[in-house]
Amino acid sequence: MSSLLGYSELMTSRPFHHGNLRVVLLERAEVMLREGGVDGLSLRELAREAGVSHGAPRSHFPDRQALLDALAERGFSRLTEDVRSALAGSGSLRHRLGRMAQAYVDFAVGDAALMELMFTTKTEGRTGPLQDAAVGLLEVLDDAMGPSADADASNSSRETFKLLFGATMQGIAALIASRRISRDQGNALVSEAMDVMLESQLGKQAVAQGSG
Amino acid sequence: MSSLLGYSELMTSRPFHHGNLRVVLLERAEVMLREGGVDGLSLRELAREAGVSHGAPRSHFPDRQALLDALAERGFSRLTEDVRSALAGSGSLRHRLGRMAQAYVDFAVGDAALMELMFTTKTEGRTGPLQDAAVGLLEVLDDAMGPSADADASNSSRETFKLLFGATMQGIAALIASRRISRDQGNALVSEAMDVMLESQLGKQAVAQGSG
DNA sequence: ACCTGAACACCGTTCAAGT
DNA sequence: ACCTGAACACCGTTCAAGT
């Protein structure tokens, strides 16, 4: 039965999680999600792995959906961070946007189940931290495109460009994740999509001033 | 207890499904999917609604995943049909492709849970009827673009165009389904995406000969 | 405030038995 | 070939009780 215990309390039997059970659960849930998908994520098994009773998670997450929402929120934070750092380097706008797109697809493919959680929101309400996290992602794209012109028309095309950019990356990632195209084909498709968008009227209007 | 019985056998007590239990299950499962999502789809409740024992579905679907796969396959058939008929009418290529994209998004939004089932395939094998059904969808797009040039370069750009077209529609549909943009914004985005793709070098190469 | 452990209703899957 | 019904292991959720 000692094999059921974690590594850090082979000596002491009881005092386990001080106040960080919540994060422990989230971290273990993330790997369970990655390994077994959403269906493979069981609250009871999660509690078992954390070394607590099956009722314990209830103190931190009212139900399973609450845990799933928290995972999605953390996912958005991590994605935003990945994308932001991919964008941070030097190079032309085209190169930086390309790196960003690549980071996005990398994340989506590497954490397909989490991505599914993030983009098939079950929650009805339009407010909440989860929506904020999603908005933050678009802001990164906004920053990358440099200062915006103050004309309304330009802002409109900029919004459209951002949405189209995000939608296209999302779609390509879905194609890869569902094994309909290979990873290499996906990378080529990302590059092609970048060209198509940047050479278009919409793209030229949207990034008129942005030249890192 | 008579309330548990279906409409067609208020008189006779036993002879129920002759050999069509399979389709009955699939049809009821489709509405359960639409109403309660994938999580809300229970084999036992499905059997209950169909008026058979909980073990009966086993005769037609070895396990729950097999039912889900069958649902996805039917989904592809229906999507292909919708898209094909949207494409069938008259008008310029731009208009026909626009109608097709609209039909695609309509389907994806109206049957979001089914769409999720279709595009997050759990099956590892690359063969099988499910993959065939997905391929059929791309063939419709191929037909719409008219006869292809026999040069290899042209075929390559055509393949790329089709994938990019599909990915973009998929991404826009995901944005709508996750409530991140409204239906109207989605429609506008579809239209914008069409313009961007058709005015690009890639688009011009891909549909060089296709003019309804 | 946080965790335990029994209880409840539900589930997917297996399988011997019926027709 | 198709369906029934008991059995098994597992699950999410609730809740009184402990500390």
> pLDDT digits over B85-107, tens only?
999 989 999 999 999 999 999 99
pLDDT, greater one: A145 or A88: A88
Contacts of B90 (CB under 8 A, 6+ apart): B212
> pLDDT digits over A35-88, tens only?
999 999 999 999 999 999 999 999 999 999 999 999 999 999 999 999 999 999
DSSP A31-74: HHHHHHTTTT--HHHHHHHHTS-TTGGGGT-SSHHHHHHHHHHH
Q: Tell me the shortest Cα–Cα distance from B167 to chain A, in angstroms.
A: 4
| Mean pLDDT of chain A, nearest integer | 85
Mean pLDDT of B190-205: 95
Q: Is A206 on the interface with B (CB under 8 A)?
A: no
CA–CA dist A110, A33 (Å, integer): 11
Q: Is B63 on the interface with A (CB under 8 A)?
A: no
Mean pLDDT of A1-12: 36
CA–CA dist B80, A3 (Å, integer): 53
- What percentage of chain B exceeds 70 in pLDDT? 83
Interatomic distance A105 CA / D15 C1' (Å): 45
> Is the pLDDT confidence value at A122 over 70?
no
Predicted local confidence at residue B211, as pLDDT:
46
Asked if the Cβ–Cβ distance from A170 to B174 is below 8 Å, we say yes
Mean pLDDT of B99-122: 90
